[in-house]
A and B are shown apart, each in its own frame.
Chain A
Amino acid sequence: MNNYRMHLLVCGGTGCTSSDSLKLVDELKESIEKHGISNEVEVVITGCFGFCEKGPILKVYPDDVFYVTVKPEDAEEIVEEHVIKGRQVERLLYVEPNLKVKLEGQKDLPFYKKQIRIALRNCGFINPEDINECLAADGYQALAKCLCEMSKEEVIETVIKSGLRGRGGGGFPTGLKWKYTSNNASDVKYIICNADEGDPGAFMDRSILEGDPHSVLEAMAIAGYAIGAEHGYIYIRAEYPLAIHRLEIAITQARELGLLGIDILGTGFNFDVELRYGAGAFVCGEETALIHSIEGARGEPSTKPPFPAQCGVWDKPTCVNNVETLANIPPIFLRGADWFRTIGTEKSPGTKVFALAGKVNNVGLVEVPMGTTLREVIYDIGGGIKNNKEFKAVQTGGPSGGCITKENLDIPIDYESLNSIGSMMGSGGMIVMDEDNCMVNIAKYYLEFTKEESCGKCTPCRVGNKRLLEILDKITQGNGTEQDLADLVELGEIIKDTSLCGLGQTAPNPVLSTLHYFYDEYLAHVREKKCPAAVCESLLSYIILPEKCVGCTACAKVCPVPCILGEVKKTHVIDQSKCIKCGACYNTCKFSAIAKR
């Protein structure tokens, strides 16, 4: 076996293969063969590079030279020049459009700079179960700096100056939260890390805790120092066993090194952390509810004021910060508040982690500077919609957020802009939906969620959301009227105005926003009794497409009613008056001859 000195990586993703990348592979192989160097150079087909508009893309390993729009006829030149003579083929390098500079390495390409990892800086790089790897990646350096070189006031001032805002959804300035808690005099104070990631579809907090638990512990200690707390709680979902396990290891290791506990680094500062488990209640993500849950009670929210900064756990001043917010803290101290402000937008500095999921090609966790557009996230990073379907909407903010349509895809993401179009940042779930998703059904899904999760303390949320759900159910059953649509809006507005906590105040958002952007789809449900996306079962009918049916009788055999008529080798027909819409025929047909309408 030979040890290849060089590899030519050619993108074999859908975009590039449609622009002839496989032909390029053949040409490269042929040329390598011709020059008699096939024992030292190999061509490798890889997954999508993501930079599809400039495809086909060829990367030379280990040189890290990146060629774009490479045509099959360029193969010979690349082999002769680059592979044999070691000279770059300049004309195939990527040209930076603004500066007209040719860039050779992948790391220089602006496309790959769309994602900047601050909160996720160590996830996927260090072994989370070994504190030494964390220390090598500058773990606890920020804590050391704060304890040894900065006063409490300076620490708080730095966070205020950085402009960091709460990443759990609300977007409240973190520094001010610290300041208020610090201002309230008390012998005992608490810092809480909110790791109750209840928003279905968001998993960045889990990833941070599983990939870099020490960053959260370090940030909590810094916050403790700043506000005068010696005790911290991490409130974490019981559904995250691995994250709990890694946190326990991290806490033990930090205690062994004296980075948690009494007299940290000989500075006289004491701080320790305790885990508290959630038990499956979405409302516990709300800070007052979370505090009651930590106290071992039902996690019902209470009215603010008093705010936790005045009267929190065990009636002591308490500061509650989300996992992602805390993960941003150490880099702010190591690189400075001014550096942090250079990333993102003026009102929302820094980055945000999004959990990109749903009908998108590259499902995953992405961290982008605030101000990036949804289009860049979904198409450039996410690789577009699965199976080349039509984009319909993207849902942000989970059960409290709303849907965003293609008209608003170019809006830069920050707290204010998302609010202005009827959605919200939320904790960062981003669910992409295509033409096959019914928006009424999606709204119903979220309402089912909030109805289940409403704690029942205040009437608008407990009863109002149930009524909203009943109306939606009626609409998806085909019994809705136009009056129902008006009722949804009126009731939704009342619930928003009168509920006690954030859960109720935002629960109608999914309904109101889909009503606003997809009113036609709702109308189709109530007027024509049709579900345009063919999702709502009561509203759809199964039909046999005559041009595709070969008369194999498979459908007639599985039909339980039976309502499919037809002779062998002749087109079959479904008797709609008898059809129970079980879908058995649809699943059985091998010729895609049965359609849902």
Chain B
Amino acid sequence: MGGNCDTQEKFAELQNFIDSIEDKRGALIAVLHRAQQLYGYLSNEVIFYVSEKLVIPSSKIYGVISFYSYFTTKQRGKYVINVCLGTACFVRGAEAIMKEFEKELNIKAGESTKDMKFTLSGLRCIGACGLAPVVMINDKVYGRVEVDQIKKIIEECEKEAE
């Protein structure tokens, strides 16, 4: 997480978001989405904060977070590489794409590189089946990916990061 001042700012933003919701019934998932968007992941600190603001026990919040695969309690890399493992991508070779990323980054699916540049994970269908196999890096979708392009894709991200 960034500096203390940065954190303060983010908490203020989360506070504003929570205050803007008129009907707080059922707002938990929307708040968690917003929090994860701000922080990149849901730390204990964030969970306790949300718990206090929405008056929901933190145990219940943990229950919700662990249920949904979209939420994460682990810090993630600057680039989150999501290999689509939907059926259309699967039959067009998504497994090989995933293996190549694992090999190139030297991590397993679900892990992050030590320098926290990359996190590798699988995803169930982003609905761009016409472009199978598909890889999504942060918000950018790469379609018709081939194994020998992967090195270049990673290099592209690394260059951009500099």
Contacts and interface: CB of A to CB of B under 8 A. Distances in A.
* Chains A and B touch (C-beta atoms under 8 A apart): yes
A295 interface: yes
Interface in A280-333: 280-282, 293-300, 314
A431 B91 contact: yes
Given A281-B68, A314-B25, A358-B88, A276 B30 contact: yes
B124 A280 contact: yes
A504 B70 CA distance: 22
B64 A298 contact: yes
Interface in A411-467: 429, 431, 433, 437, 442, 445-446, 449, 452-453, 455
A279 interface: yes
A200 B86 contact: yes
Contact of B26 (A198, A296, A299): A296
A241 interface: yes
A279 B71 contact: yes
B69 A280 contact: yes
B70 A280 contact: yes
Contacts of A567: none
A314 B26 CA distance: 9
B27 to A, nearest CB: 6
Interface in B54-77: 63-64, 67-71
Nearest to B82: A239
Interface in A202-258: 202-203, 206-207, 238-241
Nearest to B139: A241
A124 to B, nearest CB: 13
Interface residues of B, number: 32
B127 interface: yes
A299 B68 contact: yes
A300 B124 CA distance: 19
Nearest to B32: A279
Contact of B123 (A239, A278, A395, A431): A239
A12 interface: no
A122 to B, nearest CB: 19
Interface of B: 25-30, 32-33, 63-64, 67-71, 85-88, 90-92, 123-130, 132, 139
28 contacts: A200-B86, A200-B90, A200-B124, A201-B87, A203-B125, A203-B129, A238-B33, A239-B125, A239-B126, A240-B126, A241-B139, A277-B29, A279-B33, A280-B69, A280-B70, A280-B124, A282-B124, A295-B26, A296-B26, A296-B28, A298-B63, A298-B67, A357-B132, A363-B88, A398-B87, A431-B91, A446-B87, A449-B124
